[in-house]
Chains A and B, each alone.
Chain A
Amino acid sequence: MPDQNPHDDAEFCVPVSSVNDIVTARMQGRVLAEQLGFSSGEATLVATAISELARNIVQYASNGDIVVRSITNGTKRGIVVVARDRGPGIVDLKLAVRSGYSTSGGLGLGLPGVRRIVDDFQIVSDRQAGTTVTVTKWRS
């Protein structure tokens, strides 16, 4: 019998094409995290991760979307954030997740920083299909 929880299907999608969408995406992410019982500190980490991922979309791909949904693993509750774009793709994935590396003159904290504040981090990039970053944060 699967865990029947009212938030199991909680999901939202924010199309990201301008800097204003970054704020919308992270605010919605925080609301969902708080609904799922994440602490204020954890919700801040979720919102911060969404902010960085959404910014990457605007900066490198100009548009894409952020999909956020809740997941359950046994008694564990979590949030999955999927950031996908149809941009030019990332040439060197290893380099892109290395701390301090940036092609845009930024701090180079974007992807490596996100990787540090989530529990699971997956990135798939293709020169034709764009980049998809999937991160998971479990509630403590």
Chain B
Amino acid sequence: MSVPILKQAQYLIATIQSALSDEDLLALQTALVEKVGKYRSRGVIVDVTALDVLDSFASRTLRDIAHIIRLRGAETVIVGVQPEVAFAMVQLGITLEKVSTALDLEEGLAYLDKRLQHARAEH
């Protein structure tokens, strides 16, 4: 099951709809990396609200996506990690180090807007 990626202004929004296999996650990674270049996006939001499990592989892939997208010059925010999922991740020992997260899509968009404004102000 592939993940739809929506282009909205300078951002890409990937909304995960249901449980994803490892292959689906890797396909999402490839698609996002390509589309960031194609649309010259400045930010990426990955919405994981629908995911009921984020195991070590899924977490590693999300972290890789964020790092790869950063190398492509854009910011990534993971949004919608559910409370019980967050709890399980911490117990399992997973940290999404250096990956930005936000409560939901709205907060994720606000975060990216702020980051971009900040980046412009520096120039």
Contact = CB atoms under 8 A, between A and B. Distances in A.
A23 B16 CA distance: 15
B92 A48 contact: yes
Chain A contact surface mostly = helix
Nearest to B85: A44
A112 interface: yes
Interface residues of B, number: 22
A18 to B, nearest CB: 8
A93 interface: no
Contacts of B56: 52, 55, 106-107, 109-110, 113
A41 B57 contact: no
Interface residues of A, number: 26
Contacts of A110: 56
Contact of A40 (B60, B84, B92, B94): B84
A13 interface: no
B92 A99 contact: no
B49 to A, nearest CB: 14
Contacts of B53: 26, 30, 44, 47-48, 51
Interface string A6-28: 00000000000001101100110
B34 interface: no
B2 interface: no
A44 B84 contact: yes
Contacts of A99: 93
A65 B54 CA distance: 21
A96 interface: no
Interface string B73-114: 000000000011101100111100000000000000000000
Interface in A50-70: 51-52, 55
Nearest to B1: A23
B93 A41 contact: no
A48 B88 contact: yes
A27 B21 CA distance: 12
Contacts of A52: 55-56, 92
Interface of B: 19-23, 52-57, 59-60, 83-85, 87-88, 91-94
12 contacts: A23-B19, A26-B53, A44-B53, A48-B53, A48-B92, A52-B92, A99-B93, A107-B60, A107-B94, A109-B94, A113-B92, A113-B94
